Amino acid sequence: MAKAFAVFIFVVATLVSQSIGAVVKLQGCGGRVFVDESVVIDAPLRENCAWEFETQEDRILVVTLVNGNLNEAEEYFSIHDGIDSDSPILLVENQKIHEVSRKDLPQAVYTTLHEASIRFKKTPVSNLQLKIQKAVPCPFNLGLDSQCGRIVDSSSCYCATFTNRVQVDQTMYCVDNNMKLISFENSTEEQLIQSTWGTQVEYWTSLTDTRREGAWIWESLMTIAEYTNWYPGKPNTAAGNSDDCVVYGGTRFLTFWGDTSCGTMAHAICEAQP
């Protein structure tokens, strides 16, 4: 009986320290952690605990507070850009807030490197949980006639290009900037993008049936479109038609999607996900 109880305690303790949903919970005082899924530092937090975080080399890290105000909480710890002892301290106020980034996203600190450290200088008075996630860098723009921002969540980045190009050229414009032509995975994502950059003109998406007539694939993801938002009467189902690429916006399709020739000129949205 005692043995069974000990095994039970071990299993519960292991589950608690390892993962809750997609979140890995860290306990104890300090250590080095590779960040892929979300990581949350949970109590006990006390002075002289130092955590080191690392993610893939072409990504950065973003730190948010699960509850509360990050500015106020910074009295208890410092967030460093890198893991060396002299790595610069990052502050909430130093973060560039892009004009088009969503204002209701949680306060966040972004590193410029793929490594960061968090050092506690004081024991927090109340339960304080810090969340560390992998993020993509988000430039202010991609050059002339473009605009970027953290539109959907604090870890991904979206950029609009207000230059008209054919679908394949917009695909390559995104790829040349380490991004992908947009795929709408759900209506939340689509509505956030449409409310940010509007639907006054047509924008390309990565949806196409060039590979097989009637099989609509997000080319950027190579997945079948599950969520769809077709304009009434669309898509064109006539055999052998050449409406193989998909735009939204403009006077033809408004907030909906319409299939059209891939040689049509339109603006585009690129996205980068962590």
Ligand X SMILES: *[C@@H]1O[C@H](CO)[C@@H](O)[C@H](O)[C@H]1NC(C)=O
Cis peptide before 274 (omega within 30 of 0): no
Q: How far is the CB of 14 from ligand X (least distance, A)?
A: 28
Q: How far is the CB of 178 from ligand X (least distance, A)?
A: 17
Q: How far is the CB of 158 from ligand X (least distance, A)?
A: 10
Q: How far is the CB of 227 from ligand X (least distance, A)?
A: 9
Instruction: Say how far apart CA 155 and CA 101 lie, in whole Å.
Output: 12
Residue indicated by tokens 């972004």: 110
Nearer CB in complex with ligand X: 79/136: 136
Binding site for ligand X (CB under 6 A): 152-153, 185-186, 188-189
Nearer CB in complex with ligand X: 81/219: 219
Nearer CB in complex with ligand X: 67/186: 186
Cα–chain center distance at 216: 24
Instruction: Say how far apart CA 167 and CA 24 lie, in whole Å.
Output: 40
Query: Is the dihedral angle over the CA atoms 6, 11, 17, 20 positive or is it negative?
Result: negative
Cis peptide before 124 (omega within 30 of 0): no
Q: How far is the CB of 156 from ligand X (least distance, A)?
A: 7
Instruction: Say how far apart CA 35 and CA 228 lie, in whole Å.
Output: 33
Nearer CB in complex with ligand X: 77/248: 248
Nearer CB in complex with ligand X: 77/197: 197
Q: How far is the CB of 47 from ligand X (least distance, A)?
A: 36
Nearer CB in complex with ligand X: 15/20: 20
φ/ψ of residue 9, rounded to 5: -60, -45
Instruction: Say how far apart CA 35 and CA 12 lie, in whole Å.
Output: 23
Sheet holding 60-65, edge to edge: 23-26, 38-41, 130-135, 60-65, 108-110
Cα–chain center distance at 20: 20
